[in-house]
Structure 1
């Protein structure tokens, strides 16, 4: 059963959101990114936050319900010579806190990102999703995304 949460605020992330964001990523059993709430790792997250915050082509967002961070996503703008030099928005690191899933938060975040892309005159919005996240794939398809490419990764560290 899906219950919609009213009053989902999507806004740019602030540094004081960082602990809540790390907790969301660390709780993700499927991601395999090695995220942790270990205090010794916090400086790594703080450095990454600063890099994102100061980049003109990246934005980090949170979804907030009743003053509490319950989701997050990041966008990146890229321009390519393909498509006659058009720009694309990449949506990355989409996460909703596990106890808040199925309540419209993820959909609100993606709708927000798409509206931002349209406002910037972007040609394409794209995202990747871990191959094992079948529920996420159905979610993205319900929102109008089409599976179109096969992705490859190479871990360097």
Structure 2
């Protein structure tokens, strides 16, 4: 395993969109129907614009040697529970398949946690597909604890 030392985590830009879509489309486990078909680009561009316009969401990329090699998104949510506590939700964490095992995923999660702490947010949470056992071990190594059971419902 090679540990990557020059990982730049930065906010995603529109010109990163093709690289991001390629990372998601290459994920056979996710089952999100992502595709590099040029006809789908408008859907991704609309989603990117919505994320970019939201004060509570940020899309990031991990870059090594000028290449996008990973991504994740953060969302801040505030609830009345916990006396009005806020949480940073970390979602869509992906490292390009050919770059896994190089410390990129850990760098992305550590960056997200530092961002949350810097904003005074007291909790970070994420979800992971139930069949991604390696990812679960990875998140536990980083200090996350399984605590809730998630449910989803397809609406279309």
* Whole-angstrom CA distance in 2 between matches of 1:152 and 1:123: 24
SS in 2 for 1:94: strand
SS in 2 for 1:78: strand
Alpha-carbon shift at residue 6 of structure 1 (Å): 1.2
CA root-mean-square deviation: 0.4
| Mapped pair 1:153 → 2:144 | no
* Whole-angstrom CA distance in 2 between matches of 1:108 and 1:147: 21
Residue 143 of structure 1 is matched in structure 2 by 142
Alpha-carbon shift at residue 21 of structure 1 (Å): 0.0
| Mapped pair 1:6 → 2:5 | yes
Query: TM-score, normalised on structure 2?
Result: 0.99
Alpha-carbon shift at residue 123 of structure 1 (Å): 1.3
Over residues 20-46 of structure 1, what are the superposed CA-to-partner deviations in whole Å (9 max), with x where a residue is unaligned? Answer: 000000000000000000000000000
Aligned runs of 1:76-95 on 2, under 5 Å? 76-95=75-94
Alpha-carbon shift at residue 109 of structure 1 (Å): 0.1
Residue 100 of structure 1 is matched in structure 2 by 99
* Whole-angstrom CA distance in 2 between matches of 1:3 and 1:148: 32
Residue 70 of structure 2 is matched in structure 1 by 71
Structure 2 unmatched runs, 5+: none
* Whole-angstrom CA distance in 2 between matches of 1:120 and 1:3: 32
SS in 2 for 1:106: helix
Runs of 4+ off more than 2 Å: none
Query: TM-score, normalised on structure 1?
Result: 0.99
